[in-house]
Structure 1
Amino acid sequence: MGLFQERPLSKRTTANERAMAKVHALFHGAGRGADLPSAKGTAYGLLNAVTEFVDHERRARSFYHRLDSAWFDQGASLKQRALDQAVLLAD
Structure 2
Amino acid sequence: EALTGIDEPSINLESFIIEDRHIIRITDNGRGIQPDMMDNIFIPFFTTKEGGSGIGLTFARQVMKLHHGSVKVYSEPGKGTAVTLVFR
TM-score normalized with structure 1 length: 0.31
Higher relative CO (CA 8 A, sep ≥ 6), structure 1 or 2? 2
Task: Choose between structure 1 and 2: higher strand proportion.
Answer: 2
Task: Choose between structure 1 and 2: higher helix proportion.
Answer: 1
